[in-house]
Amino acid sequence: MTIIAAADGSALGNPGPAGWAWYVDDSCWRAGGWPHGTNNQGELMAVLDLFRSTAHVPHEELLILCDSQYVINCITKWMPGWKRKGWRKADGKPVLNVDLLKDIDQAIVGRKYTFEWVKGHAGHDLNEAADERARAVATAYQQGVAHRAGPGFPGSLEQASQPATDVDGTQPRSSETVPAGTAAGSKGLAGGGSASAKVERSPRPHFEPTLFGESGIFGQPDLFSELEGASAQELSAEDTVLALERELLRPDVRADIGRIGVLLHPDFAEIGSSGRFWTRDAMMMALEEDPGEPTDLELLSADRLSDNTILLNYRSLAHSGSALRSSVWMLDRGQWRLRFHQGTVEN
């Protein structure tokens, strides 16, 4: 028998209050989260917990439906190479979210599994159910209230339920249980119990120091901390998109697969100056190997095409020359992402 499950993550603010969830059906699902995390960390944790929650049935094959190509590529394409390099990328920098990836690497040993990409928010029943539960956990952490943890997978080992110090050093509320991997030292997996009567706290993801400093999305300060302390509420959508475009022109950002995965829309496409058509996956892999040179930006126009779409036209200026460029940015689940880009080299 093949277990078919959707896995999804959610972060309000990205980073911000975060949730994750996997879903098989209404009687078989599980969710958790953290006070502070990212979408990608939520997606990875959902996959990890699904493997852990089905560890007692290793003979059953898993079909994992996921709307994150970043997560799928990490596990099915990039992880073996990162391991050979001591969990470092091609440029020698540490791999982001390495703790979650190492745990997944251990959890998949001996397992039969297949990933299938599904388009998010496109009406896929399992994906929508997982997304709804992940977002509910993120919202619960934002509001400081209990969340539904779900019934778990039938037959999985039960978690320890005794109170213990939480990962942030505080004492859990009496209604909370401590998941595997926290200070309680439990090696169990989530199992039965009332879904509405307990709150699960996932191990908080470890933010590694990077060139960007501590915290923020994948370890860097968030966009707005770079804009003279302005808050998201004080920035227009056009200013936000322009700042994100400038960020994409930085070689250190372009070499960061995790950050690029956030900035590029799942359906991203680019027509290069040579006429080559680039997909999101091809672009992410190319940028990791060669992030290019430092580039400046001279804005020509920023046009609001709709409430959720902005077109930027600008001239890029680099040591190798200049180019006229157009970028279409779309608002996707509260995050502006680059949907299309085209550039023409100037003579």
Catalytic annotation, pick one of 9, 16, 32, 152: 9
Do residue 247 and residue 188 come from a single domain?
no
Do residue 175 and residue 250 come from a single domain?
no
Do residue 186 and residue 249 come from a single domain?
no
Do residue 169 and residue 271 come from a single domain?
no
Max CA separation in the chain (angstroms): 70
Q: What is the structure's pLDDT at 108?
A: 95
Nearest to 165 by CA among 130, 201, 195: 201
Q: What is the structure's pLDDT at 234?
A: 60
Q: How far apart are CA 244 and CA 40, in angstroms?
A: 18
Catalytic annotation, pick one of 49, 103, 105, 131: 131
Q: What is the structure's pLDDT at 229?
A: 37
Domain count, the chain: 2
**Token representation of residue 181:** 């991997």
263: domain range? 222-345
Q: How far apart are CA 210 and CA 205, in angstroms?
A: 15
Do residue 273 and residue 166 come from a single domain?
no
Q: How far apart are CA 249 and CA 321, in angstroms?
A: 14
Is position 215 within any domain?
A: no
Tens of pLDDT along 304-342? Answer: 999 999 999 999 998 888 999 999 999 988 889 999 999
Do residue 262 and residue 192 come from a single domain?
no
- Alpha helices (H) in the chain, listed in sequence order: 39-53, 69-73, 79-84, 98-107, 125-143, 237-248, 251-254, 257-263, 280-289
Q: What is the structure's pLDDT at 236?
A: 87
> Left (φ > 0), alpha (ψ -120 to 50) or beta: where does 102 sit?
alpha
185 catalytic? Reply is no
9 catalytic? Reply is yes
Nearest to 180 by CA among 198, 194, 200, 210: 200
Cβ distance 127 to 67 under 8 Å? yes
Do residue 25 and residue 146 come from a single domain?
yes
The ranges of the chain with pLDDT < 50 are 158-202, 204, 206-233
147 catalytic? Reply is no
Cβ distance 95 to 87 under 8 Å? yes
Cα of first residue to Cα of last residue in the chain, in angstroms, is 61
User: For the domain that residue 235 is a member of, what is the CATH number?
Assistant: 3.10.450.50
Q: How far apart are CA 343 and CA 313, in angstroms?
A: 10
CA separation, residue 30 to residues 105, 146, 229, 315 (Å): 21, 14, 38, 48
Catalytic annotation, pick one of 8, 103, 105, 245: 8
**Token representation of residue 224:** 């707005």
Q: What is the structure's pLDDT at 109?
A: 93
Do residue 236 and residue 157 come from a single domain?
no
Based on its alpha-carbon atoms, the radius of gyration of the chain, rounded to whole angstroms, reads 21
67 catalytic? Reply is yes
User: For the domain that residue 76 is a member of, what is the CATH number?
Assistant: 3.30.420.10
Catalytic annotation, pick one of 33, 37, 67, 258: 67
Do residue 130 and residue 251 come from a single domain?
no
pTM over 0.95: no
Q: How far apart are CA 8 and CA 47, in angstroms?
A: 8
Catalytic annotation, pick one of 32, 36, 42, 43: 43
Catalytic annotation, pick one of 25, 116, 121, 303: 121
265 catalytic? Reply is no
